[in-house]
Chains A and B, each alone.
Chain A
Amino acid sequence: MFGLYRQFTLGRYTKAFIIKASGEASSKNNLKALIKEAFRKDLIDGIIGTSLNKKEGFVSPVFIKCEKEVEKFEPFFFIHGGQNSLLKKITQKYSFEKLGVAGHSCVLDGINKMQYFGIGSNFTVTKFTLKIGIACIGAISLEGIKCLLKEKKVKNPGFNEIFLENNKIILKNKYEKFDFSAKEYYYYLNEGCKVCMNLSSRGSDITFVPSLRNGYSLVLVRSAKALKLFENPGFSVKKAEKSDIEEFESLAKNFLKKNIETILERAEFGIPSNKWDGNRFGRFTALWNNIYAENIEEEVF
């Protein structure tokens, strides 16, 4: 009995909002507004994220130390950029007391694991206060994006934005918008993301979905702390409609189904997905079949 239930695809959340920043309507601006709000409400005093460096054409991790620096921040979704490699330096050298992170599920997995076991970074890692998860349909490399655009015979591949709209993945540059279906996009996905079962960044305080619908992006609130962000915020906020949530859910389902296929394929060939627990696939199916009984939040694949 397989079922892709909402608790699994989206994780447990208490409230869902749609938010829109003032100015140009784009999902990255909406995320920036959210981060600015966190600075303003003193929830964080620094945050790490990944930013597009247009000059070099790389996506690299950045550390934002104050609200002013958020302006220069160019969040680029679905590329991780080695965000966690900054952690040691930040926690050891700068020793911030209230650290935030805006990252995809695997970045948060790394941080959650570090917090749980303590491998990698010292006591300072306990200083994370706000985790903004970014819903991710799978990472793609910049080369992958290039190839995608070449497939469509796009001549000017300069782009600075990626987001979800109408069940499609949109790449945007100054002049044009290109859209890709899930199927087209999936081919160029990072191999590691094809076995991911945590598209909605379950281990976070708040999940930001990089979608755009009439200028609004979906946000799933998971903790009481994150709810503070929505008290008299500097951006316009509305309660999410059923259709808003369903739109992302159906896209996530689409990707999850493909990922399950990949996992089964790996299992057939005995390619491990987990070193320590050879029976990972067994665990996976056991849990899958007991979806009603087990608390999905507790299990991560």
Chain B
Amino acid sequence: MSDAISNELRDHLAKLIDENEVILFMKGTPEGPACGFSARSVAVLNSLGKRYAAVDILPDPRIREELTAISEWPTIPQLFVDGELIGGCDIMMEMYETGELAETLGVEQPTGDQDDPAQAQATPQSQGLQLENNLE
């Protein structure tokens, strides 16, 4: 029974990754990140002005378990673009600084005084996704 539930959740997560060009799995929401690493990741994405889907993994520990099973990546946040794991906060920051993240997302690297994404305010670029949680 529990196997069936976890497979169902895993399939649902895989579908979300597949269906959303840019999707961030994070702790909290883009408007209210619950961890510094998630906050930095959101700031970077917002500063690039690319629309992205965001999934809060905190409401149910099984979300993180199943996500890790898919990605084989132990930590949160996790950014996927075109169905592929790009990385967590460290890789996102490094790729942001080199301009590779903008390239991966197909956007222009912002110029000027907005170089510090940690200072960027949340903009309405994100589209929070609610995981349908009917697994209780």
Q: Do A and B bind each other?
A: no
Binding site for B on A (CB under 8 A): none
Binding site for A on B (CB under 8 A): none
